[in-house]
Structure 1
Amino acid sequence: MSFLRSIDALAVQQVTPTAGGPLALVGTFVLLSLLFALTAHVAARYVLGDVPYSRALFVGPVPAAVTLLLQQYPTWAMILVGVIGDFLAIRFVYRVRAAVGALVTVVHYAVTVILSLIVFFLIVTLSTAPL
């Protein structure tokens, strides 16, 4: 039961927005856009085959903007709006049917979660290293 409490405490800490200036906001948006563009390209290559990377650069800002704009709302709302926006961006940018767009969106979400967990645990592991 204590494991579930620690998960709840971690979730509350992650969605609490922090104060920052315009430069911090722009920097966060650019980094998130690049992360989402990278994972969108991986997903599109996995599902569609050989696609130009430049298209993924148009997909990345959509979930990045949703993440930043909806950070004060419940996590489920941010995920729902983000997935819908991601699906619409993928359909528009890659010009695919709805079923294929949904598959690319699911793979994009999965790759993003996996990469985010790897980066998170890498940061946690490196933060415990002796100086």
Structure 2
Amino acid sequence: MLLQTVTPVSVLGTTVLLALFLSLTAHVAARNVLGDVDPRRALYVGPLPAVISVVGNAFELPAALILLAALLVDGTMFWWSYEEPRRVVAGITLIHAVVTTLLAGVLILVSVLLASMPG
């Protein structure tokens, strides 16, 4: 068994990478719904859900509670950043959740394939 040590640098690195990943998928979702949008606006969306995820998992909160909180904050950040009606924001948030799940699944499967390469 591999013993892993949690350090402040590893927590910060995980949070930053997750925030960047969520910002990227937020831009894809917003562009899918709104058309041509400023990619800098998506940078406002990613960090808070990432922090909620990392802190919620650190305190071992139930996954359903973490997911609900992250989705609510995600929608709020879309509303604040893009200034769209709530119905449009709900659509963007749903598409963001789907795009994030699909892309994360692909990345996880690619990493499993690469880890199982012979030699």
Question: TM over 0.5: same fold?
Answer: yes
Match of residue 100 from structure 1: 88
Aligned length: 114
Residue 25 of structure 2 corresponds to residue 39 of structure 1:
yes
Residue 108 of structure 2 corresponds to residue 125 of structure 1:
no
Match of residue 61 from structure 1: 47
- Point out where structure 1 has 5 or more consecutive residues left out of the alignment: 1-17
Corresponding letter in the other structure for 1:46: N
Sort the Cα spacing of 1:86 and 1:19 in 2 relative to 1 into closer, same or farther, 3 A: farther
Rounded to whole Å, the distance in 1 between the matches of 2:46 and 2:20 is 6
Higher mean Cα deviation, 59-68 or 35-44? 59-68
- The alpha carbon displacement at 1:65 in A equals 0.8
Fraction of identical pairs, as percent? 37
TM-score relative to the length of structure 2: 0.92
Match of residue 15 from structure 1: none
Match of residue 70 from structure 1: 56
Give the RMSD, CA atoms, in angstroms. 1.0
- The alpha carbon displacement at 1:19 in A equals 4.7
Q: Deviations over 1:19-57 (max 9, x none)?
A: 511111111111001100000000000001100110001
- Point out where structure 2 has 5 or more consecutive residues left out of the alignment: none
Moved over 3 A (4+): none
Rounded to whole Å, the distance in 2 between the matches of 1:68 and 1:93 is 22
Rounded to whole Å, the distance in 1 between the matches of 2:63 and 2:112 is 22
